[in-house]
């Protein structure tokens, strides 16, 4: 691994956190008014595991506004180690590396450039796990 990449990851490592429905366990990135899955209004803060496996993915070639610089890019459905399923952009892969069920891990990356002022937003993406054990 190159040194600048290493330091960027350790300095800004971003934990996957959000809200879990107390009743059905559905995960929400932002605290919702009602659970999309079961209609409950009770949520608990939750931290998610930072690794899991890739269930499926798609390559986006016509991106929404703000994501043009990243196209084409891949969006994956990921099942984390605790069974939570989330959608996330994928990064740091060669196209032949993306297969269903491969192990993936969260990394902190630039996720989009916002508007004409070029404000850069950071967040997590997933990449194929470096340790495949
Ligand atoms: Zn629920």
Please give the CATH number for the structural domain made up of 49-133.
2.40.50
Q: Give per-residue pLDDT as tens, 68-79.
A: 877 888 999 999
Pair 49, 80: CB distance under 8 Å:
yes
- Residue percentage of the chain with pLDDT more than 90: 30
Prediction pTM value: 0.68
Token pair recorded at residue 60:
């986006």
32 Cβ contact list (under 8 Å, min separation 6):
19, 43
5 Cα: distance to centroid of ligand 1 (angstroms): 38
40 Cα: distance to centroid of ligand 1 (angstroms): 5
CA nearest to 69, candidates 133, 8, 118, 22: 118
43 Cα: distance to centroid of ligand 1 (angstroms): 8
CA nearest to 105, candidates 73, 66, 133: 133
Q: Give per-residue pLDDT as tens, 26-85.
A: 888 788 999 999 999 999 988 888 899 999 999 999 888 877 877 888 999 999 998 888
Pair 56, 77: CB distance under 8 Å:
yes
Rounded to an integer, what distance in angstroms lies between the CA atom of residue 91 and that of residue 25? 27
42 Cα: distance to centroid of ligand 1 (angstroms): 8
Domain segments of the chain: what residues?
1-47, 49-133
6 Cα: distance to centroid of ligand 1 (angstroms): 38
Rounded to an integer, what distance in angstroms lies between the CA atom of residue 120 and that of residue 4? 19
38 Cα: distance to centroid of ligand 1 (angstroms): 4
Cβ density class 55-70: b for 16+ within 10 Å, e for less: eebeeeeeeeeeeeeb
3-state secondary structure of 8: helix
Length of the chain: 133
């Amino acid at each position: 691994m190159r040194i600048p990449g290493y330091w960027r990851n350790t300095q800004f490592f971003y934990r996957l956190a959000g809200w879990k429905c107390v009743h059905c366990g559905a995960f929400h990135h932002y605290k919702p008014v009602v659970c999309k899955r079961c209609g409950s209004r009770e949520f608990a803060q939750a931290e998610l595991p930072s690794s899991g496996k890739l269930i499926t993915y798609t390559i986006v070639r016509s991106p929404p506004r703000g994501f043009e610089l990243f196209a084409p890019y891949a969006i994956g459905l990921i099942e984390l180690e605790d069974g939570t399923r989330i959608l996330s952009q994928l990064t740091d892969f060669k196209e032949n590396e993306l297969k269903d069920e491969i192990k993936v891990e969260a990394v902190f990356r630039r996720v989009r450039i916002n508007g004409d002022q070029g404000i850069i937003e950071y967040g997590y993406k997933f990449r194929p796990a470096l340790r495949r054990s």
